[in-house]
Amino acid sequence: MVSGIKKLTADDSIRLDVFISNKIKSYTRSYFTNLISEGKVTVNGKIITKAGYKLSCGDEITVDIPEPQSDDTVAQDIPLDILYEDDDLIIINKPQGMVVHPAAGHSDGTLVNALLMHCGDNLSDINGVVRPGIVHRIDKDTSGVMMAVKNNETHVKISEMMSRHEIERVYRTVVYGIVSEEKGTIDAPIGRSNKDRRKMTVTTDGKPSVSHFEVISRYREGTDLKVVLETGRTHQIRAHMTYIGHPVLGDPLYASKRNAFGLEGQCLHSKSIRFIHPRSGEELYFESELPDYYVDLLNRLTPL
């Protein structure tokens, strides 16, 4: 782990965040984007807070990388459904209702608490002490396949693969209403809602977001879909489905006034993940069967 003051000299005309992440491989580009916004980076002695700042050849860059902070997140003996594990990564089948990492209102009982017990110190710390090993996440009430990583080298490589759309993530979801198209693509930028900061919404100044969907089955009460993520924004499927008028069935945030059909959260399941292992070069594929709550819901719906 690299920390402390790092001094670099630009050798090309390039974005500030791209240059730093190319030179310091121990962290992701998004990590440096956050450092820049926090005023931790100077160019020729001047604090720069825009990640897209264009450097000129010969510019002197100083990066203040903070020391890891201590945290009271504890290891807890919580059972994990492990689909795969090696020295670099671990694939988990997360149950519905499990929070991924500690946050307000969820100080323990999370996936991170379980990973700390199972993996000990063998987790990446790029995302800080509160989120060790977390390279991506799924929501509390979303079930299914999720990856965690055990070292910073793997964390950086997996993050880069995600940004290049080289990791295939497939979901299943039941949405309200009858989706008429057999398949389709939702290409609509997503950002945080100005009306409700808990929600994400399609907005012109949002981040590029692409979801591909295909109908599995139609029911009188809704439609069972397969969704393939091209990008991985917060609440992407939930926000995109709401945008096209078919919010995820049982969603307590985006469809709170609709019949939840007895569900305790949104009917959304991370079905599978496919990627090339960053160290071995082997193609890996892992799949999770539909959980009981999902199968039970399908059995209670009325086929068309």
**Are 134 and 234 spatial neighbours (Cβ–Cβ below 8 Å)?**
no
Low-confidence ranges of the chain (pLDDT < 50): 1, 70
Q: Retrieve residue 15's tokens.
A: 């974005």
Q: Retrieve residue 5's tokens.
A: 């003051």
Q: What CATH number did the domain enclosing 59 receive? A: 3.10.290.10
Distance CA 268, CA 227 (A): 10
Please check whether residues 171 and 155 belong to one and the same domain.
no
Please check whether residues 169 and 96 belong to one and the same domain.
no
Please check whether residues 219 and 231 belong to one and the same domain.
yes
Please check whether residues 155 and 107 belong to one and the same domain.
yes
Q: Retrieve residue 160's tokens.
A: 């880069």
pLDDT of residue 70: 46
Q: Which of 132, 163, 194 is the last residue of a domain?
A: 163
| Residues classed as catalytic | 139
pLDDT of residue 41: 92
Please check whether residues 79 and 54 belong to one and the same domain.
no
pLDDT of residue 54: 94
pLDDT of residue 102: 76
Please check whether residues 88 and 102 belong to one and the same domain.
yes
Distance CA 126, CA 110 (A): 19
Please check whether residues 176 and 300 belong to one and the same domain.
yes
Please check whether residues 198 and 116 belong to one and the same domain.
no
| Rg of the chain, C-alpha, whole Å | 21
Q: What CATH number did the domain enclosing 152 receive? A: 3.30.2350.10
Distance CA 67, CA 38 (A): 15
pLDDT of residue 21: 85
Please check whether residues 198 and 251 belong to one and the same domain.
yes
Q: Which of 15, 34, 65 is the last residue of a domain?
A: 65
DSSP assignment of 55-123 equals P-TT-EEEEEEPPPPP-----------EEEE-SSEEEEEEPTT--SS-BTTBSSSSHHHHHHHHHTT-S
Segments forming the whole domain that contains residue 108: 69-163
Please check whether residues 98 and 35 belong to one and the same domain.
no
Please check whether residues 222 and 241 belong to one and the same domain.
yes
List C-alpha distances in Å: 261 to 98, 158, 248, 270.
20, 37, 12, 20
How many domains is the chain partitioned into structurally? Answer: 3
Q: Which of 133, 163, 193 is the last residue of a domain?
A: 163
Please check whether residues 95 and 43 belong to one and the same domain.
no
pTM of the full predicted structure?
Answer: 0.79
